Structure 1
Amino acid sequence: MGVGELVRRWRSRAGLTQEELAARAGLSVDGVGAVERGVHARPHPHTLRSLADALGLTDEERLELQSAARPSDDGRPGAGAGEGRRPHGGGLPAPTTPLVGREADLGRLLSLLGRQGQRLVTVTGPGGVGKTRLVTAAAAVLADGGSAVSVVELASLTDPGLVPATTALALGAAATGDDTVRSIAEHLAGQRRLVVVDNVEHVVDAAPFVAELLEACPGVTVLASSRTPLRLRGEAVLVLDPLGLSDLDDVDAVSSAPACRLLVERVRAVDPTFTLTAANAPVVADLCRRLGGLPLALELVAPRVRSLGLAEVARRLDQAWTWEGARDLPARQRTLDAALRWSHELLAPGEQRLLRWLAVFAGGFDVRAVEGLVDGPGVTGEDPAAPLERLVEHSLVVATPSTPAALSVRHSLLEPVRQFALRLLDESGETLDAQRAHAAYFRDLAVRAGDGLHREEQVGWLEVLDVETHNLRAAITRSLAAGLADVAVDTAWPLALHWWSAGLLDHVARWMEQALRMPLSDVSRVRALFCLAKMRHGVGDFAEASTALDEGTTLAATRGDLSARTHGTLLRGLVAFDAGDVARATALLEEAVDLGRDLDDDVLQSMAAVWLGTVLLDAGRPAAALELFDEGTRLARARGDRLVLNEAFLNRAGWALTSGRDDDAEAWFRQSAPLSLETQDHPDLAFALDGLAVVAARRERWERCATLLGAVGALRRTVGGRHYNYYVPDPALVRWARETARESLGEEGYRLARAAGEGLSPAEAVALAGDVTDVGRDGL
């Protein structure tokens, strides 16, 4: 039976007119009529797919339709998959658009296919990333080079048991049940052929058939596309990532980024007048970032630019899920929602639920966070590591080694996948449960980090907090939105030092102000007041900081909380000193030192000692100050607290510098610089480099001085807030060093030396700070 007769029969069964079938299939009425009349006896594969989808055909009926469209030995259609069919190209499609941004991936794939003995290569990646497009391009290159190529399309199948018959049909062999592999082997005897097997993921249980085929046909190489690997021996997997994005918004950067190139190319296809300019480049870059560099998403968005404009498309991007693409795309790829639902439906229930819950993470996650989120097998029905691994295999979760040695892995969701999962989470009614579990996990992490930030594991915790900042911020804002003010404060307070270093002083202050307007326990209220005070102090608002500290310290004393009272007294003294009230600062910090000793809290005791020493230096009492620095240094060194140790070093160095003890100052600054780098404390690093620049100027090493000052300028441009301004090197000395170096080198010489410093990374600046024996050779 021919294609036309089959389509008429199935259309009649469905009770559809030609017009209704055309509308469902996205085809013209004339096109459907031509198929039924036999004018197009061998329709294009996408036409067959569209008709099959519109008619709701079973797998067996789809196979029958494909068979009817295949030519017989004399070239007539409809011979089916019987014996004696001649070999053919298996329907290798001719792309209608150029391959953009995949040149390197195509080269990698061809290299794998050309590797000696490599007979199975699988291209994996998320839906819409362009797997089919890439394998088709590779097959076309090989076909142009004379290789025999056949394509087996599996997208329309749902029954893995029909994969052998579908493969035989594509290869021109007979489908003979259990003997299909032998039939194919006999048909291809002596031939070398590349078999492209497209869209395997939903029939991946047929993978053993692929293994049997490779074993029986030594001349066959299989190139598969699948959202998950086949897990067969000898399989080489090429993971296809989304197209590269642009970190910058200038025209040159945007025009060279693969994702942006694709979007621009596709926009130009519908609007040849479109030009990338300085005005629209940032919008193009932002669109590509928000769509995660996913080619399908970019293809779907591009046609809307002609009718809506870039700005309006960006504003309406949340509607992109349902925007339809070209009619010749498979139904599963005509919308972004359909593409992702196709992947979602391949998951087991526990995997689907885990995917939904993963959407609450912000900025990625690791396995421990997933375990903390779902609290054992309750959400997934099993150890969450297993379904997480399967989500990675299905290319719905991206796994990236977070260290060069791959000792740990960071996971993330592509932004389109995350938005899709968030919608599913909302539909499931589980959003609040997932957000509360997320907040609880990161509150506990913050509490552990708060203690670790003052001990030997300090650097490790600083690295963790740097990575988890987005999750911590999300946990706090969601807790406040849900009325869980205590949870928000318990998360924010232990990390006050981290927020300060990250330059998020205003953010945290606003969180604490919001929390203080809500019901809070006394403990949380004290913490919120202290946290608010630290942030306001950091931006120079000493009046508000003092008000919050006075209230918090009074409440702590009323409750008999000696630890909180000590902390509040310590902070009050520091704010008083920064506000210029040295006498009050001295009294408060002396009280804090005594309280810390009574409390036997080595953290508070060492901080109070160092800060009191700072005040005494300013008051002209260096001997007493140095004794306190010794006490603070001893306690900090014993527990591995580099931050407090660094404060003591910088205070000593600043005193030595103003006292004319250049050798001592240089030694202390040089000890401080690597500690600042290790703890990511760029403000302190800038102070150390300022001091070393003064030492260099006093020794008439003008180029070194200018280069160090250039490095200081680069560091300060990346830092927010005033930070630890209470031990800044004497500004007059720094100004003298700068002006003397400029006068000695001349304007151009000074500019060049300073520019060299501005180009240094923090690590390179620290290396320069420590380089005192070789400076004579390089002129610094």
Structure 2
Amino acid sequence: MTSADLGAFAAHLRRLRQAAALSQEELAERAGLTAKAIGALERGERRRPYPNTVRALAEALGLDEQDRGVLASAAQGRPVPAPPPGRLSLPLPPTPILGRDRELAEVVALLRSGPARLVTLTGPGGVGKTRLAWEVAAALRGDGGAEPVAVELASVPSADLVPQTVARAIGLRAVTGDLADAVAAFLGDREQVLVLDNLEHLLEIAPDVAGLLGRCPGLVILATSRAALRIRAEQEYPLAPLGLPQGEEVNAITWSAAAQLFADRARAVAPDFVIDQRNAPAVAAICRQLDGLPLALELAASHVRYLPPAQLLTRLDAALGSARLRDLPARQRTMGATLDWSYQLLTGAEQTLLRALSVLRGGFDLDAVEAITSAPVLSALDGLVEQSLVSPADPVGLGSPARFRLLEPVRLYAAALVDADEAADLSERRTRHYVAICRDARAGLRGPGQGTWLDRLEGAHANLRATLRALIGSGDLSAAARLGGDTWLYWALRGHAGEGLLWWEQVLDLAGAEGLDRHGRASARVALAGLRLATGDIGAVRALAETAVAEARETTDRDLLADALILWCMGSVFAGDLPEAAARIGELRSLAHATGDPWAVAHARIVEAQLLLLQGDLGASGAALDAAPTATGPFTLATILNMRATLALQLDDAPAALRHLTDAVRLAADVGTTWPLVYSLSALAGVAARHGDPELAVSLFASAAATAETTLLKVSFRPDADAADAQLDALRRRLPEERFHRAWQRGAALRVDELLELIPRISARP
């Protein structure tokens, strides 16, 4: 054997070891040899390695049959052959890809005909970047050129080892000189798709990747990483989790991508598993709690062999930490291992901020981030976004500030890293922040900026829940009660009335005889009375508001007393107790003007108009509405418009009613309020029936009913409720059952924008 041959074997063994990211000691341990023996082989000092030594080395390096043959040939002094280009191609996917049809088509189009020759799939660990990359590369196989080649980089510890890993993958052997030059020369101008998988810890190779693309015009690179390379040739493609169930029906759940993946993986361990009426709610909850993250869904589904979904739902955190898919790399066999990989790539400041962010639920804005930590956050937050651990969230409304979120598996992981003292401090900071927001929201929800405040609270809804839970858990029931008094209008207008009732009933139940001061009791009862008014429980409104008035009188809070009086008067009017309402209207009107709050003045006038209408004085009722200030929120304006429509219908002026109702629906659509919308749609249905369009009338009634059912809202003002009941009964008698049923189904599925397109059909009728 010549010295050159010995050098070729030594160099070949060394390259294989480095590509496997093993030290000489690690390779020796795996092969059952000594580190000294490995060193001698790599220096060419051992002239005749025994066949069993070569076999042990091949086994330790995980070589396939062809590479084993190459290593054996080198040990016998034969030249190291270069395999045909592209021989090391794509892994065969073990399971079908689900729920990624759109993403697959878009990435293939980018690489096939788009301007980018480097597309980087980014996203958090476990989102399925590698799996999609394999599918994309397979789809490109038929485009000509060399076979796509996958280069696995997760086990490559440093950037200086990447060129030799790429060289080995494309079939380049026994390289002398600069490896990057050799790879570029080897590829030349031939068409080649290269998949660089898991390079988030090797981002410093970005200039080398840019240089390779510049020197190889036929090269196309598909990369996967938790962070982009940030070079000009790159097109980043953020990969989102799978789509979640959008409804509670079994079909809606079954057709969601997340549920399909869960069911497919569950059937792998429980072949008879199907999503049905019994388990669909639990499956949907699992998908939502795991935020559609594919790896988390797979790990959870592996437990279905002995845990039904309902039990699994209550043990998800433990399930994600104990499930092990043994055909995955060790860093992906549990969610904890996957996120450990990401966490170790962060700076100290980024790790600290990630732990702090675990206290925030759902979406959050920059103000919330700054409120929970005293350190500067922009740089660390940018790093977390870059590493796909924090995701930009869709703004809740037009013009809303930037928002962010942690996927729930990421949040749970980060929360587990927080010690008890740090957790208590973070929770207190979060609570102070959201209590302050709710205090400011009281005025905002009653003014022209109501839509902005509704959006802000909607975006903070999960954190409002967490804040209430923390206040109640710590025994600060007064703060929880005041939060209800400040924000009950949000809970009623955005479809959360049922949940709000549960919170403030709990506050009063826990308070007992002495657990709240009078201000707190009045605040909780005002919140409950407002929510009961929205949900149609008029008897409860009167009882709660009457007590709230007495308690609020003993405080100095005139705004709280005005709210309680408004609700008491409305409860009396809606219940038909007109003398009681009439006895309080004067006091309410005086107090509302004394507060200087346009919202209180407007609603005092509205309840006065309602009382006068029921007393039969339609002219005075209209005059009371005319006196209501207009510098209020869209809910108040929509309520006034609905009242004007009721007056117009009492006067048999359907065109005027139609104008008022159309404007009310537009206001509700603009700010996403549901309470006045239920009234508007029911009244519009009546107008459509008068105009001779019974099927449209049925569809509008169905839309009102669907809105009421999902939000627990109800039309309770007797003239409106009685008219709706009578007209709906007449439509049932007028239309054949099948036509009525079809029209009802159409209406139940209508969106607000579709309703606005239907309304002109009413005015077109004679």
Q: Tell me which interval the TM-score lies in, with the shorter structure as reference length.
A: 0.7 to 0.9
Query: Does 2:758 align with 1:768?
Result: yes
Distance 2:258 2:56 in 1: 37
The offset of 1:169, in angstroms, is 4.2
Measure how far apart 1:659 and its partner are.
Answer: 4.1
Structure 1 stretch displaced more, 675-684 or 491-500: 675-684
User: In the alignment, what sits opposite 1:557?
Assistant: 553
Residue of structure 2 equivalent to 1:392: 385
Aligned-residue identity in percent: 31
CA positional deviation for 1:207: 2.0
* 2:303 partner SS: helix
Instruction: Give the corresponding residue for 2:349.
Output: 350
Aligned to 2:222: 223
Distance 1:225 1:682 in 2: 43
Inter-CA distance 528–154: structure 2 relative to 1 (3 Å threshold) = same
Question: Who is 2:161 aligned against?
Answer: 162
**1:392-471 mapped onto 2 (5 Å cutoff):** 392-402=385-395, 409-425=402-418, 427=419, 429-471=421-463
Query: 2 CA distance for matches of 1:630 and 1:688?
Result: 19
CA offset at residue 38 of structure 1? 4.1
Distance 1:616 1:314, change over 3 A: closer
Change in Cα spacing, 1:322 to 1:37, as seen in structure 2 (3 Å) is farther
Which residue pairs with 2:641 in the alignment? 649
Whether 1:577 aligns to 2:577 is no
Q: Secondary structure at the match of 2:221?
A: strand
Shift of 1:592: 1.1
- Offset at residue 340 of structure 1 (A): 0.8
Match of 1:594 in 2: 590
Change (3 A) 1:416 1:8: closer
Unaligned runs of 5+ in 1: 19-33, 50-65
**2:184 aligned partner:** 185
> Does 2:125 correspond to 1:127?
yes
2:96 aligns with: 99
Distance 1:189 1:41 in 2: 33
Which residue number corresponds to residue 501 of structure 2?
506
Matches within 5 A, 1:136-147: 136-142=134-140, 145-147=144-146
Alignment of structure 1 residues 17-166 onto 2, 5 Å: 38-39=54-55, 42-43=58-59, 48=61, 76=73, 85=82, 88-89=85-86, 91-95=88-92, 97-101=94-98, 102-115=100-113, 118-142=116-140, 145-166=144-165
Structure 1 residues 354 and 514, CA, compared in 2 at 3 Å: closer, same or farther? farther
Aligned 8 A contact 1:673 1:769 in 2: no
Change (3 A) 1:96 1:631: closer
Q: What letter corresponds to residue 595 of structure 1 in structure 2?
A: L
Give secondary structure in 2 for the equivalent of 1:293. Answer: coil
Deviation at 1:593, TM superposition (A): 0.5
Q: CA deviation at 1:88?
A: 4.7
Equivalent of 2:717, from 726, 729, 733? 726
SS at match of 1:729: helix
Per-residue deviation at 1:230? 0.6
Is the counterpart of residue 323 in structure 1 residue 322 in structure 2? Answer: yes
Equivalent in the alignment of 1:247: 246
Partner of residue 714, structure 1: 706
Give the alignment's Cα RMSD to 1 decimal.
3.9
Preserved contact between residue 88 and residue 150 of structure 2 (Cα < 8 Å): yes
Alignment-mate amino acid for residue 620 of structure 1: G
2:93, 2:741 → 1: CA distance? 55
- Does the 8 Å contact 1:515/1:528 carry over to 2? no
Instruction: Give CA-to-partner distance per residue, 1:620-665, whole Å, 9 cap, x none.
Output: 3444333322211xx1x1x143322333333333234334444544
One-letter amino acid of the structure 2 residue matched with residue 448 of structure 1:
D
Shift of 1:582: 1.7
- In the TM superposition, what whole-angstrom CA distance separates every residue of 1:516-546 from its partner, at most 9, and x where no partner exists? 4575566444423432343455556666655
Residue 455 of structure 1, CA deviation: 1.8
Instruction: Go from structure 1 to structure 2 and tell me whether the alpha carbon gap of 1:629 and 1:35 turns closer, same or farther (over 3 Å shift).
Output: farther
Check whether the contact 1:35–1:41 (CA below 8 A) recurs between aligned residues. Answer: no
Q: Count matched residues.
A: 727
Deviates more, 1:617-626 or 1:353-362: 617-626
Q: Report whether the alignment pairs 1:530 with 2:526.
A: yes
- Gap regions ≥5 residues in structure 2: 1-9, 34-49
Contact 1:669/1:688 (8 A) holds in 2: yes
C-alpha spacing 1:452/1:131, structure 2 compared with 1 (3 Å): same
Question: Per the alignment, do residues 259 and 602 of structure 1 end up closer, same or farther by CA in structure 2, a change over 3 Å counting?
Answer: closer
Map of 2:677 onto structure 1: 685
Q: 1:492 Cα deviation (Å)?
A: 2.4
Q: Which amino acid aligns with 1:447?
A: R
Post-superposition offset of 1:338: 0.4
Mean Cα displacement is larger for which, 252-261 or 473-482? 252-261
Which is further off, 737-746 or 91-100?
737-746
Distance 1:400 1:369 in 2: 14
Measured after TM superposition, the shift of residue 141 of structure 1 is: 4.6
| TM-fit CA distance, 1:201 | 0.5
Partners of 2:534 and 2:675 within 8 A in 1? no
Cross-structure match for 2:45: none
Given that 2:655 and 2:763 are in contact with CA atoms closer than 8 Å, whether structure 1 keeps it comes out as no
DSSP 3-state at the match of 1:76:
helix
Task: Tell me, yes or no, if structure 1 residue 474 matches structure 2 residue 466.
Answer: yes
Q: Closer, same or farther in 2 for the Cα pair 1:759/1:72, shift >3 Å?
A: closer
Q: Residue 610 of structure 2 aligns to which amino acid in structure 1?
A: T
TM-score normalised to the size of structure 2?
0.83
Q: 1:737 to 1:298 in 2, by over 3 A?
A: closer
Report the CA distance between 1:471 and its aligned residue. Answer: 2.3
